[in-house]
Structure 1
Amino acid sequence: MSLLTHVLACLFGMGSWVAINGMWVELPLVVTEIPEGWYLPSYLTVLIQMANIGPLFITLMHRFRPGVLDERPVIYCIVGLGIVATFLLAFFWRQTMTIGGSLHSVPLLVLTFLLSVVDCTSSVTFLPFMMRLRPQYLTTYFVGEGLSGLVPALVALTQGVGLVHCQNATLAVVANQTADNATMVGSGELQAIYQPARFSAQVFFVFLSVMMVVSLVAFILLNHHPSVARERKNDLYFSGDLAPGKREQGLSLHAQTPEQKPMISHLESKREAKSSFGKGTYSNLEVVFIFVVLAWVNALTNAILPSVQSYSCLPYGNKAYHLAATMAAVANPVACFIAMFLPIRSLFFMGFLTMFGTGFGAYNMAMAALSPCPLLVHSASGTAVIVLAWILFVLSLSYVKVTIGVILRDEGHSALVWCGAVVQLGSMLGAVSMFPLVSVYGLFRSGDACNTKCPM
């Protein structure tokens, strides 16, 4: 394997979701400068779901016109669009327009929609492109995809986004009996004051544009660098429409890597007829199981739990919230590294790990529902448990996502297209289900980073 190809695959993967992830972590700075305020996250959720028109078009093209659409020109277009949109965002995100008698951040919303189209479409184009390389590089790509969330988060932490300090607040003025004498009375409560950022949102958006440029350069080198070309030429098993004899030859080359046969039940699998999906490795029941797990895991990790992370963590304090968010972002690429060196493709183990991660997700959701007074809110153990729960939740389900991606990669090009489509479908269903609960009905209550008053 080529180290250069691994690095390029990682840098290419970083461009998949870096724009939208960067927008989310920059929200505390952005919302104070625009008329939408903290309604912006709700608008972002809607815009991201509208952007699924891109993956829908790509998926339908592969379904009804197989072989007509080449991912490479599409990737050049969407990554180029991402570069331009993030660069323009740096200079126009504060601009407003009057619509219906009120001010709205039209340039910000339009550019965010374009970035959502870029990132959503990457799910159904980047993965199928990785089909051209050996399966080991797909895991490296997932590492880069994880870094697309981690790197902006670390830069935002360096920037000082969302960091607060608590100070005494004077809440009332009580007049004495005489009109000419007034005394300021402090309640003893603390007020959360956001610290000024070390550099502006404009610099941050330019940084995102540079990351998109790096991803584009990596993609160009993956297509044209001689060492990468040799990697593609030597990979017979994954070269698309091969003759049966050559495919068997490629299979013998691929057999050098030990691989477990993923089964729900070994005996039942023997009796069941194999499906027509991919290369026919799995039964219909196994294919359904894989895609249901994929949709469920992405719904949890991309939409359902992120929408309530602040509710579950902020009652324990601002440090707990930032530690949980940062360590959860670190857990994603760590899971990819584990999958690279310890691949376990058993569907039974995949189901177990999904239930394991879902259990920690249920705990996080329960703490969000109990906000602002979750369990152990006044103790250091409560803080440790909530941070650990977020780490294990992301770590286990990220491993499941990588495993499914590698399994479907072995099933061929169309399988990876459907993989990306199901990822977007699961994320969309999760966002649609949580949006009314969080933004419309207000079922979750925020905890105050400085004043959490709960019974002991």
Structure 2
Amino acid sequence: MLDCTSSLVFFDYMKRFRTQYLRAVFLGEALTSAIPTVLILAQGVAGETICIQKINSTLLEPSYTQPRFSVKIFMFCIAGIIIASLIAFILLRWTSIVRLADAAEKNVREKAISNRNVAVEENLPMVNVIKSRTSSKSIQHMPRRLFFLFLILNTVNSTISFGCLPSLSTYALLPFGQKAFYYWSVLLPIAYPLALLLSIYWKHVSNHVIVLQSIFNWLLATFIFIIARQSPCPWLADTIQGALMIITVWFIMSLTSGFLRITIGNRIKSEWEDDKGMFYYGGTVQLGLLLGTIPIYILINVFGVFIDRKPCRAYCFS
């Protein structure tokens, strides 16, 4: 429950801070996958399964190398990340660090100033009132249709990236070898930090580019779905070319999906004038998870649409 509601709570909490600090949340999300990956590498879990022949049998059984430290130590490290997050929240909530950094959003102060201006304008000539109101309308805000479009795009992207594809990783990658799955698990957490860096340098993204990137992202996801559906013998199975193909496609899709998520979040935070914009933005992430995990679970466990590849077994005879 805590993990499923984190995006909803965190993004809604960020309405209290300036827009530029929203990237800190995205960086934290990136580190939640990057740090465990580093721990896994330090743990020394091998990327290749060793097949050993059984005694008095022609069958092969998989053998896995022992990790450098136990699962208990790994979980203690993960708990340390959660404790660090708690300390960070305490510092934000009950210390003066936000005031010292001048990181708080100015909505409340601006509303108070605007109320004062309205009271003063009532005593001014009509011409001055018209000029002031005209200048206030010149500020550009996100239209309601564009806001709903961004929410729909974020829901669909979350459905694909967080709801559907994680469950299909073994079906799409293991046909190309255990090393392909291992390198994918190492490279994938790098995509989100790279997307964050890309969003820093590419701050202004047009609406047409966001839509085109979403369509491109859906095409890549469709390709991964096709590969997973063809498991255990997809195109170029058991080849280096196939492994490079699926890892590259998945990495580009994750990079594009992360960039879209960050860009849409920044646009809503800076342009949507309602305070509940980030709440709805976080809600679309959870809605996407719901819309993605349930159908994939039914397809895998009820209908058996996807067939996984077992280690140390021969497939794809031609």
TM-score using structure 1 length:
0.60
Equivalents in 2 of 1:446, 1:370: separation in Å? 10
Pairwise mapping of residues 208-287 of structure 1 onto structure 2 (< 5 A)?
208-232=78-102, 235-236=105-106, 238-239=107-108, 242-243=111-112, 245=114, 281-287=141-147
SS of 1:118's equivalent in the other structure is coil
Contact 1:312–1:371 (CA under 8 A) maintained in structure 2: yes
Contact 1:164–1:195 (CA under 8 A) maintained in structure 2: no
> Match of 2:305, as an amino acid?
L
Find the partner of 1:288 among 137, 145, 148. 148
Task: Tell me the equivalent position of 1:426.
Answer: 288
Q: Give the superposition deviation at 1:370.
A: 0.6
> Match of 1:326, as an amino acid?
V
Q: Does 1:454 align with 2:316?
A: yes
Pairwise mapping of residues 123-202 of structure 1 onto structure 2 (< 5 A)?
123-161=7-45, 163-170=47-54, 184=56, 186=58, 190-202=60-72
- Which range is displaced more, 342-351 or 211-220? 342-351
> Match of 1:381, as an amino acid?
Q
SS of 1:215's equivalent in the other structure is helix
Contact 1:373–1:452 (CA under 8 A) maintained in structure 2: no
Output one character per residue of 1:252-305: Cα deviation in whole Å (capped at 9) or x when no partner: xxxxxxxxxxxxxxxxxxxxxxxxxxx993334322211110100111111100
Task: Tell me the equivalent position of 1:342.
Answer: 202
Contact 2:52–2:62 (CA under 8 A) maintained in structure 1: no
Rate the CA distance shift 1:169–1:155 in 2: closer, same or farther, 3 A: same
Equivalents in 2 of 1:241, 1:431: separation in Å? 42
> Match of 1:229, as an amino acid?
R
> Match of 1:165, as an amino acid?
T
Rate the CA distance shift 1:448–1:150 in 2: closer, same or farther, 3 A: same
Task: Tell me the equivalent position of 1:176.
Answer: none
Output one character per residue of 1:191-246: Cα deviation in whole Å (capped at 9) or x when no partner: 3212222222221221111111111111222234545313346753x457724638
Q: Does 1:386 align with 2:246?
A: yes
Task: Tell me the equivalent position of 2:259.
Answer: 399
Contact 2:221–2:253 (CA under 8 A) maintained in structure 1: yes
> Match of 2:308, as an amino acid?
S
SS of 1:340's equivalent in the other structure is helix
Contact 1:315–1:449 (CA under 8 A) maintained in structure 2: no
Contact 1:134–1:231 (CA under 8 A) maintained in structure 2: no
Contact 1:303–1:431 (CA under 8 A) maintained in structure 2: yes
Taking every aligned residue pair, what percent have the same amino acid on both sides? 26
- Which range is displaced more, 387-396 or 354-363? 354-363
Contact 2:151–2:284 (CA under 8 A) maintained in structure 1: yes
Equivalents in 2 of 1:416, 1:358: separation in Å? 24
Q: Give the superposition deviation at 1:319.
A: 0.9
Equivalents in 2 of 1:344, 1:168: separation in Å? 55
Q: Give the superposition deviation at 1:402.
A: 0.7
> Match of 1:242, as an amino acid?
K
Rate the CA distance shift 1:216–1:194 in 2: closer, same or farther, 3 A: same
Equivalents in 1 of 2:168, 2:48: separation in Å? 20
> Match of 1:245, as an amino acid?
S
Q: Does 1:326 align with 2:195?
A: no
SS of 1:219's equivalent in the other structure is helix
Greater RCO structure (CA 8 Å; 6+ sep): 2
Structure 1 gaps of 5+ residues are 1-116, 172-183, 249-278
Equivalents in 2 of 1:325, 1:240: separation in Å? 46
Output one character per residue of 1:431-451: Cα deviation in whole Å (capped at 9) or x when no partner: 111111012222111123443
Q: Does 1:118 align with 2:2?
A: yes
SS of 2:79's equivalent in the other structure is helix
Rate the CA distance shift 1:161–1:447 in 2: closer, same or farther, 3 A: same
Find the partner of 1:311 among 156, 171, 174. 171
Rate the CA distance shift 1:445–1:325 in 2: closer, same or farther, 3 A: same
Equivalents in 2 of 1:158, 1:384: separation in Å? 24
> Match of 1:121, as an amino acid?
T
- Which range is displaced more, 388-397 or 433-442? 433-442
Task: Tell me the equivalent position of 2:297.
Answer: 435
> Match of 2:277, as an amino acid?
A
Contact 1:372–1:452 (CA under 8 A) maintained in structure 2: no
SS of 2:50's equivalent in the other structure is strand
Contact 1:128–1:417 (CA under 8 A) maintained in structure 2: yes
Equivalents in 1 of 2:312, 2:108: separation in Å? 58
How many residues are treated as equivalent by the alignment? 295
Structure 2 gaps of 5+ residues are 118-138
Output one character per residue of 1:367-416: Cα deviation in whole Å (capped at 9) or x when no partner: 11111111111321111011101100100011111111111212243101
